[in-house]
Structure 1
């Protein structure tokens, strides 16, 4: 366009959007106040509150089991002394498997599985109760059990990380090998523990609570701190969630996997001393099917079988639930076979729930991605 003087002026574009009116500071603060949800409500509804919701659900299951016990045996639950002693019995029953479950939880969160934990407990216990080892006293027995557990765990980790073996196959082979080595060392005989200090662990009470329960609490607290408050725990979740992404982020996935199985082996060594103290002996057949109990407790507690998610507190509650079921069946005179069927049904139900939740989360992410695009 030209004006009267002959100068050319650019044309104004006609497709520019109209400017919005200025927004006052008070209006901005009011809008932010309306759009920001309450922190507590968002916590319970969001992913961050999933662990708390699951733990509350597990506590509700425990309450239901107690109600069933009261309904079936009101004569026993009417005695307050019996109730307290029975509660301590359940915790004592859960102590050994609980320690093994802590190590198993780390392995599963890291994307693996360990079928050899029961055999590692047996091998550690048998090796710690040989006459040669017992001659070094309680310290020598404890040191031997921990070193044997650590060594077998390292072998598992090396076979899986650097030998490229599937965790299921590697630990299944170790299950057979460790049981065979334990039988060879013990000559298929029961080895009696003659050390009064080791034998006294199971019978010692501190402030009315068994020492085994304190050991379980110490392992659980250490496991919780390691998983939730350290770099090791964050790397464990990353490796289990996406190993390739963890590798690209600078995490040595192979070395970390070895450390996870070594940690599981150390937990088995601790459990071996606890179980040896309870039985005052050790044999190659001890800790039978502990691997299934530990895996089941971890799954019930919310640990994802595919890795990348899990809680130590949830796994502990899973162990206590199974111990409560065992106790409930015992006081009602029911068979072990019926108890195993109930456990199997609980495991299947827990896995199905995990699959439904995983699919719903995956579908939500896909829909959110499509909407963003």
Structure 2
């Protein structure tokens, strides 16, 4: 069947999908809902900025410090943000990836071995991306063709990848001697850190892939209703495999970025990045059950968490309280998803049925 047919079948109420968007404007249906949600996230960011200005008026009164702080927040969000883009695709497709942080560690350690560094910056970047992608493919094979539950498969990969990273590095920190790689985090272009450009590039590619390609439409269809997607002619197993490979690719990119920041790599790097990425996607509106989510929402989620971290740092508050606040935000986001209508379209549909 055609992609249009696949999308129509996946969204059909008879197949358990979402109700088709109502006619009469961009603000109705799931599109308008995502716009409203993203505006709400921007409101949360504005509130955090106001809190910062109230608690630290001297700092926020200095325009040069404010600009520098904005760049620091974006740089802080960049590595987790890249991982989150890949994680968003996986969750929209109906999966989960608990091994993301471990893949970052394995890719970073493998890219900074003496043998790999002898091939220069290109060899290190190539190695990190290939290792991340291959590990993601292994996850996809285990889940799609081995029929393992994503939670179990990726949890096993988390343990295995951390162990392999420790074995390769000998439980030691491997120093990056490549000036080009180290300069990725240290250098700026037009006053903006290179890491932020990489983050923005991945976000743009991810947005286009999700919203303007067949791959994106199939991802939503597979996550919304796998059986309907299969009946529409989509190879669900193969597509799910590609989603995990994409997540691994993003982890490989993040490994180079994190290595550049620390000028080194070790088996413990990227710790809990998978949880940060999942949390950012959730508060950005991505459904844990799959079938819906936006790249922009996930990015805003990452930036909100980075802003909270920054806010706690400038106020000298302990990390423990910061983690409790983040936990509360995650719980609130899940509760909102749990007790809300599936879409604005269904809300209008139900009201129409009631009033006629």
Q: TM-score, normalised by structure 1?
A: 0.87
Task: Identify which of 135, 138, 141 aligns with 1:158.
Answer: 141
CA contact (8 A) 2:116 2:127 kept: yes
Cross-structure match for 2:287:
304
Listed as ranges, the gaps of 5+ residues in structure 1 are: 1-36
Cross-structure match for 1:291:
274
Q: CA shift at 1:148, angstroms?
A: 0.2
Distance 1:363 1:52, change over 3 A: closer
Work out whether 1:240 is the aligned partner of 2:209: no
Work out whether 1:223 is the aligned partner of 2:206: yes
Distance 1:183 1:38, change over 3 A: closer
Q: CA shift at 1:38, angstroms?
A: 9.6
Cross-structure match for 1:270:
253
CA contact (8 A) 2:105 2:165 kept: yes
CA contact (8 A) 2:28 2:345 kept: no
**SS of 1:309's equivalent?**
coil
Alignment of 1:189-228 (within 5 A): 189-228=172-211
**SS of 2:128's equivalent?**
helix
Cross-structure match for 2:171:
188
CA contact (8 A) 2:30 2:345 kept: no
CA contact (8 A) 2:30 2:344 kept: no
Cross-structure match for 1:44:
27
Structure with more contact order per residue of length (Cα contacts < 8 Å, sep ≥ 6): 2
Cross-structure match for 1:19:
none
Q: Give the Cα separation in 1 of the matches to 2:232 and 2:220.
A: 13
Task: Identify which of 210, 231, 238 aligns with 1:255.
Answer: 238
In the TM superposition, what whole-angstrom CA distance separates every residue of 1:76-103 from its partner, at most 9, and x where no partner exists? 1111110000000000000000000000
Work out whether 1:319 is the aligned partner of 2:302: yes
Q: Give the Cα separation in 2 of the matches to 1:203 and 1:84.
A: 17
Work out whether 1:333 is the aligned partner of 2:316: yes
In the TM superposition, what whole-angstrom CA distance separates every residue of 1:194-248 from its partner, at most 9, and x where no partner exists? 0000000001100000000000000000000000000000000000000000000
CA contact (8 A) 2:78 2:196 kept: yes
Cross-structure match for 1:24:
none
Distance 1:85 1:367, change over 3 A: closer
Cross-structure match for 2:87:
104
Q: What root-mean-square deviation, in Å, do the aligned CA atoms of Structure 1 and Structure 2 show?
A: 2.0
Work out whether 1:145 is the aligned partner of 2:128: yes
Q: CA shift at 1:365, angstroms?
A: 9.2
Bigger Rg, structure 1 or 2: 1
Q: Give the Cα separation in 2 of the matches to 1:209 and 1:61.
A: 24
Q: Give the Cα separation in 2 of the matches to 1:133 and 1:148.
A: 12
Task: Identify which of 107, 113, 136 aligns with 1:130.
Answer: 113
Q: Give the Cα separation in 2 of the matches to 1:309 and 1:123.
A: 30
Number of equivalent positions: 335
Q: Give the Cα separation in 1 of the matches to 2:54 and 2:48.
A: 10
Q: Give the Cα separation in 2 of the matches to 1:252 and 1:368.
A: 37
Q: Give the Cα separation in 2 of the matches to 1:276 and 1:38.
A: 49
**SS of 2:171's equivalent?**
coil
Listed as ranges, the gaps of 5+ residues in structure 2 are: 1-21
Alignment of 1:54-73 (within 5 A): 54-73=37-56
In the TM superposition, what whole-angstrom CA distance separates every residue of 1:146-177 from its partner, at most 9, and x where no partner exists? 00000000000000000000000000000000
Q: Give the Cα separation in 2 of the matches to 1:326 and 1:120.
A: 24
Q: Give the Cα separation in 1 of the matches to 2:110 and 2:259.
A: 11
CA contact (8 A) 2:226 2:236 kept: yes
Q: CA shift at 1:52, angstroms?
A: 0.6
**SS of 1:215's equivalent?**
helix
Distance 1:368 1:164, change over 3 A: farther
